Chains A and B, each alone.
Chain A
Amino acid sequence: MVKSRKNWALIFIAPSLLYLALFQLYPVLYAVYISFHKYDLMSPPQFVGISNYIRLASDEQFLRSLWVTAFYVFWTIVPVIGLSFILGGLLSTLNRSRGVWRVLLYLPSILPFVSVALVWKIMFNQRGPINDALNTVGVASIPWLTNSAYAPWALIFMSWWHATSYYTIIFLAGFLTLPRDCFEAARLDGAGLLQTIRHITIPLMKPTIVLVVVLATVNGLKAFVFQQVLTDGGPANATQILTILIYKTAFSYLDMGRASTYSIVLFGGIMALGLIQIWLISGRRDA
């Protein structure tokens, strides 16, 4: 009986396991393998040891891209997390109208990414509505997407709009699980709003805050569509985040070895964050 149940378990799990092994785990190992080779798709892979990794330290394109990525991720997550926290918190204080606000604020998240990218690309146009708005307050038009000083910020502003919507919903879900009596007790003790937020809300919300920080960082690292559609990494590589660099190195310059090395760096970064995330989730589910 128990023996047959064990067999059932493997029968049920086998299709998923095979699928994930074939299209997720094996490719990771394969990527590591390629990263030790020089490979241009034409001639067979040539083993080069760890030289692809050694070259990273002096690879200016890669270092620039790392910096661009870090800049993008940092400026994307910091304001977004603050704003979503506030919006989620405010929504949780409402009763009847909460559902309506939640739906409206969530709408940016249902737009396909490419639609979002195309709308913003045109809004950032030299004669588009964003420059129109600046002109009406007396600021000269800004060449948002064609000047390397502004393009990174254009993408960051756009990500604020897009990401806030999603993390607000996550924060709201977190706020709604908080025990009400804590706040009641704080109010009776005469605690002010800021005191309550600092000493009660933030400690209680810590798991959600960390979750959103990890999520937002991972999503920032994985960004591709916005950069590809709006600027294709330009101007002058100013928005060439790691994913764009990987894509171009592999499929424009056909340098599979180096592109795989970049991929392993990206993979390592995301896995490290993922481990933190899993640790948090398993902690929360068991609690």
Chain B
Amino acid sequence: MRNARTERIAVFAFLAIFTAIALFPIVWMLGASFKTDKELLDGSLWSFGSAGISNYVKAFSARPFLRYLLNSLLAAGVSVVITVVLGVLAGYGFAKLRNQYTEIIWIVVLASIMIPIESIVIPLFLQVHAFGWHDTYAGIILPTALNAAGIFILRQAIQSIPNELLEAGRIDGASEFRILRLIVVPLLAPSIVVVSVLTFSLSWNSYLWPLIITSTDSLRTLPLGMAAFQMTLNTKYSEIMAVSTFGTIPMAILFVSLQRYFIDSAIGSGIKG
């Protein structure tokens, strides 16, 4: 009995140490965003800053961070809609209307999940130029909007829906499209949320592609705006911490409201890589 108890205390102590390490940079970022640069570098970790919200005010007057935020929200929103709509359609086709063609096309989806954007940015750049999409929302958002891993997750979810439910609809003479809309989609809600969270996070972190394809400041997404702000001469560290905190807020809100789905999407993205 005493043994089990010491064991538990040891486990808690171990977890507490690593949790503290995990949280430290986040807490430090938050604290630093309210400090002056002098306070930030004077070695006093736990004192409250005297800068108030002045770092936020200065950062927002130096660069259009609200615009960057809206651009990021637009990109993430469009990606989520495209992935969910196309993913549900394709997922249903792959899961419930299988034939020899869909089996071959499925390989295309699997290949697409693996293809790293980092290795195709050059041809994509040339392609998007040829479309006349350079430095436009279409060019920033559309090439990376469809998250192939979303198709995979939705197919798995649709596969677990019993065929009898679909047959009932077919006997009543419903078209495949009606069956999808009225029977399948309502059952898919949790998976749709997981795919949305996963796609939103991917888009929120998207950096290399928007970096390559934008040159106008007002089209920059938040990560690009943050990085560019950091490279501007005379930018204060505390102001950089203010925008880092600002960039975290939308993810934090999403995490607090959809916590369970976040964890599920982390596990689901195991297939994305």
Contacts and interface: CB of A to CB of B under 8 A. Distances in A.
A9 B93 contact: yes
Nearest to B224: A114
A250 B121 CA distance: 9
A118 B212 CA distance: 20
A25 interface: yes
Q: Which label, helix, strand, loop or mixed, suits the secondary structure of the B interface?
A: helix
B93 A13 contact: yes
B28 A118 contact: no
A49 interface: no
Given A20-B112, A112-B222, A28 B146 contact: no
Interface in A151-192: 161, 164-166, 169-170, 173
B165 interface: no
Nearest to A25: B108
Nearest to B126: A30
A119 B29 contact: yes
A229 interface: yes
A121 B122 CA distance: 28
Contact of A224 (B22, B101, B208, B243): B208
Nearest to B229: A118
A239 B273 CA distance: 22
Interface residues of A, number: 96
B195 interface: no
A170 B201 CA distance: 17
B120 to A, nearest CB: 4
A41 B62 CA distance: 34
Contact of B114 (A16, A166, A271): A271
A81 interface: no
B189 interface: no
B207 A25 contact: no
Contacts of B142: 23
A160 to B, nearest CB: 9
- Most chain A CB atoms below 10 A, which of B105, B222, B245: B105
B25 A9 contact: no
Given A8-B93, A266-B118, A106 B262 contact: yes
A110 interface: yes
Interface in B99-133: 99, 101-102, 105, 108-116, 118-127
Nearest to A21: B108
A115 B226 contact: yes
Contact of A31 (B18, B101, B119): B119
Contacts of A15: 86, 89-90
A20 B19 CA distance: 40
A128 B41 contact: yes
Interface in A255-281: 256, 259-260, 263-264, 266-267, 270-271, 274-275, 277-278, 281
B208 A114 contact: no
A53 interface: no
Interface residues of B, number: 91
A277 B273 contact: yes
Interface in A237-262: 243, 246-247, 250-251, 256, 259-260
Contact of A127 (B41, B102, B148): B41
B273 A215 contact: yes
Contacts of B41: 125, 127-128
B122 A34 contact: yes
Contacts of B65: none
A140 interface: no
A91 interface: yes
- Most chain B CB atoms below 10 A, which of A31, A110, A270, A274: A110
- Most chain A CB atoms below 10 A, which of B98, B109, B119: B119
Contact of B226 (A114, A214, A215, A263): A114
B92 interface: yes
Interface stretch (A57-65, A97-105, A142-150): A97-105
Nearest to B89: A12
15 contacts: A8-B93, A12-B97, A17-B108, A20-B109, A20-B146, A24-B111, A24-B115, A28-B119, A31-B123, A111-B26, A119-B26, A211-B270, A263-B121, A274-B114, A278-B110
Interface of A: 5-6, 8-13, 15-17, 19-21, 23-28, 30-31, 34, 83, 87, 90-91, 93-94, 101-123, 125, 127-129, 132, 135, 161, 164-166, 169-170, 173, 211, 214-215, 218-219, 221-222, 224-225, 228-229, 243, 246-247, 250-251, 256, 259-260, 263-264, 266-267, 270-271, 274-275, 277-278, 281, 285
9 closest residue pairs by CB, A with B: A274-B114, A12-B93, A9-B97, A30-B123, A267-B119, A16-B90, A27-B120, A27-B123, A115-B244
